[in-house]
Amino acid sequence: MFRSIHILTGATLYERPPQSPAEFQTALSALRQRQRHFAAQPVTARTALLSAFAQRLDAERGRLARMVSEEVGRCLTECRAELDKSVELIRYYTRLAPELLAHKTIATQASLSQVRFEPLGVVLAVMPWNYPVWQVLRFAVPALCTGNACAVKPAPSVARISNALFELVGGDIPLIPAWLEHADIPQAIADTDALAFTGSADIGRILAAEAGGRLKKTVLELGGSNAFIVLPDADLRQAAKDACYSRFRDAGQSCNAAKRIIVTEAVAEPFIRLFLDECAKLQTGDPLDAQTTLASLHRADLRERVHAQVLDAAENGAQILCGGEIPAGQGWFYPATVLDKVNPACRAYREEVFGPVAAILRARDAEHAVELANDNPYGLGASIYSADEAAAWRYAEKLHTGAVYINRHTSSDLRLPFGGVKASGYGRELSEFGLYEFVNIKTYWQK
């Protein structure tokens, strides 16, 4: 069952049954026909349809942001930012796609040789709950620009906002929901032409195996445990402020957040004091309240997992500097929690902690900080704070991640590729590189 509930009251906001496999096949057949018509249009015609969709989304962003806040649990200000960025994403690609997808003529001994970018067909996407608008559009908009159609399986717990988003899409754009049971996803992979997945590494491995067995193209964004490295010459006050924002925004439920704060021993004590001061400023409460800066987690089981990771860390030598207790009351709140001296015996050292918990690891020096950063299954992003930017760039080259930010917390930018290595997945979204993921890069040669 696809069911959205109010994060505080538990009231049902929306529910609907899943599609049967036969119903999905009917929808998929119709989508394939629409895809062929859509792909036959010039890219400027496709981008015009997407531009009109951006206007509709822009007009409804306040209503949709409130929906996200109520059923995901994130602060309303954060949800508004998600909608703003989603609108800008569409406008970014509609501006650039005609140029980036133009046929490229290459000089050879042929009278005419070209490279063209042609769609793969129907791309299936299996999407998470934490950014129910942004995650869908981040994958779908570039795929649509290239002439693909998209069938999106939303997370069951964000059905209302997902339904509202697809109602805004309209009938001219081949982007539809796939209200599928988890058990029906393997067959859906077999029946479509490519797969995009955002979620856990465990599920990503399963779906990648399903797609790989059928030689279907995949792009996987599987989360992360980003290192936030603080070197001795860093601006400690700014680093502490940025680390707090990055770790606790969206209640810590972001793949690209700073999760492991690696601080050199020389400045560990002053940095931790500043960091705890910033954490103390966070306000827990109703996510619709403008004063709230630390909202609820999304579900009870997610909070239980986070708390179990905290207790495990304490049992294995880490120190709880603040937080670490489940509060009473409605909602799935968890306090801002800081663990010091996290070590390899702790689950939080190697696992992704998807909630408001910061793990502090102490490094002997900069080289050791890089070693600790790389000693993790994930490789999405990292930050390095240092006054010596040249040295920071040298250390950045040693980090096994998809992105490194110097003197800034990790984030995503429409103009830059987003994705990771190792257990954080493969493939890229955003920028021109994201535009080319779901295309057949096809060579033409004329004698």
Which positions are annotated as active-site residues?
Answer: 221, 255
In 288-438, where does DSSP find H-type helix?
A: 300-315, 347-350, 366-374, 389-396, 431-435
Provide the pairing of β-strand 319-322 with 217-221: unpaired
**What's the CA gap between 165 and 300, in Å, rounded?**
26
DSSP assigned state of 92: H
Angle between helices 61-72 and 159-169 (to 10 degrees): 160
Which residues make Cβ contacts (< 8 Å) with residue 161, sequence separation at least 6? 4, 64, 67, 68, 71, 72, 132, 133
Cα–Cα distance list, 33 to 28, 40, 122, 148, 344 (Å): 9, 11, 10, 11, 53
Pairing relation of β-strands 226-230 and 175-177? Answer: unpaired
Quote the radius of gyration of the chain (alpha carbons, Å): 23
First to last CA, the chain: 58
Tokens of 156: 């069951």
**Cβ atoms within 10 Å of 434's Cβ, excluding its own:** 23
Q: Exposed, middle or buried by CB within 10 Å (0-12, 13-18, 19+), for 246?
A: buried
Q: State both tokens at 175.
A: 């982007």
